Amino acid sequence: MSAVPRLVVAAPSSGSGKTTVATGLMAAFTGRGLTVSPHKVGPDYIDAGYHALAVSGSGPVVRPGRNLDAYLCGPELVAPLFAHGAAGCDLAVVEGVMGLYDGAAGQGELASTAHVAKLLRAPVVLVVDASSQSRSVAALVHGFVGFDPDVRVGGVILNKVGSDRHEALLREALDDCGVPVLGVLRRSDGVGTPSRHLGLVPVAERQADAVAATRALAEHVRAGCDLDALLALARSAPPLDAPAWDPSDAVGGGPVTDARPVVAVAGGSAFTFSYAEQTELLRAAGADVVTFDPLRDDGLPPRTAALVVGGGFPEVYAPELSANDELRRAVAALAHSGAPVAAECAGLLYLARSLDGRQMCGVLDADARMTERLTLGYREAVAIGDSSIAEAGTRTRGHEFHRTVLEPGAGPYPAWGLVRPERRMEGFVRRGVHASYLHTHWAATPEFATRFVRRAAAAAGGA
């Protein structure tokens, strides 16, 4: 059972300022000496990186930002994953996704911020972009409060307020709503983070600037919000009757091998997308997980028996990745040896023959290029054949998020057959390689980790 005080930061729509407020609150409460657990509703990796930075202060990141996704993991895992991430903390701040009631397309409330707030029994703070309204704010807040009586909207933070007069009009309009105003944030060009084709620029690409940005957000929120009232609201959340998720239990109670095979995980600026639970599951299953940076390291870690290359921005770093000939050859040699390799999205592009005309690892007979079209959305998939992570017929859920295309989009032995919302073959299985655009959350399928580590142990010659 988790009794960690908690808040969900939501908004009527995207662009209202959820990330500004949530990240600022995390940093402000951390600055007060509280141990804050950061969370993000939905599949977004980038916001979670800023959250981790916000709760680390100026020191090394010791508590990762964690995602709570009722679509990828199922509603039943949301509370246990939260309890796992928030264990021992003084406060948890959960940033929502899109508008408060926006969920997976065509599936009602599933995976919406409101859905997750109900699963966590957490009060909601509604962040309203007030820049183009005054009295109408009352109608907006009234509608969001009354839409679902099981969602407890405990307060409002007014964002992008223009002046003292504007603030007075907004407060007067909200007096009769019964929802307290817990913060007023003025319009400011001095806070925020740069964006590009897939959203915010990740922390790993702008570490020093990101530290300065989180400090500015903390001061902005500290100056405009009633932190004491927000903490009191968080402490009003009832105990959460959910056992904490445990990676050792998830993989069957302990390591599946005594060999401790080395699983190399790509990191650095080009490969920043991963869920913390994936590494935790690999370690619980018996692997030694070692991170390396394909932009800086000219070889794989010593004794590498398996490779994980997750998501990120290889298109931004294609010249540097291509120039690292030694590492590309090492990756290709490992893949051709039959060792298990799991690649998602950016990893898929890195294993391709080329990316925007730049030579990549050449493991897959496919070429990738950037386009103007964004591919985005949840997917349901089934494994077409056996691979290093899944048995044929295994069903899973994933998320696509990219502006690249791969030609061809699937090999002779596809990784997945997508079954919803569209039907098509996707990805590649070749020897030990499983490569796909699909981002998956292994907490929902811990057997992926056990199967992968067993294959890694076999590749290393262990039992």
Mind telling me the catalytic residues? 345
Beta bridge partners of 383: 416
Dihedral Cα 291, 295, 296, 301, nearest 10 deg: 30
User: What are the φ/ψ torsions at residue 265 (nearest 5 degrees)?
Assistant: -120, 120
**CB-based contact 48:310 (threshold 8 Å):** no
Amino acid at position 127, single letter: V
The three-class DSSP label of residue 419 is: strand
| Cα separation, 134 vs 130, whole angstroms | 7
How is residue 170 written in tokens?
A: 């907004």
Count of C-beta atoms within a 10 Å radius of residue 332 = 15
Amino acid at position 94, single letter: V
**CB-based contact 37:4 (threshold 8 Å):** yes
In the sheet that holds 288-292, the strands lie side by side as 288-292, 262-266, 304-309, 341-344, 433-436, 428-430
Beta bridge partners of 68: 41
The three-class DSSP label of residue 352 is: coil
| Cα separation, 123 vs 145, whole angstroms | 12
Angle between helices 18-31 and 207-224 (to 10 degrees): 90
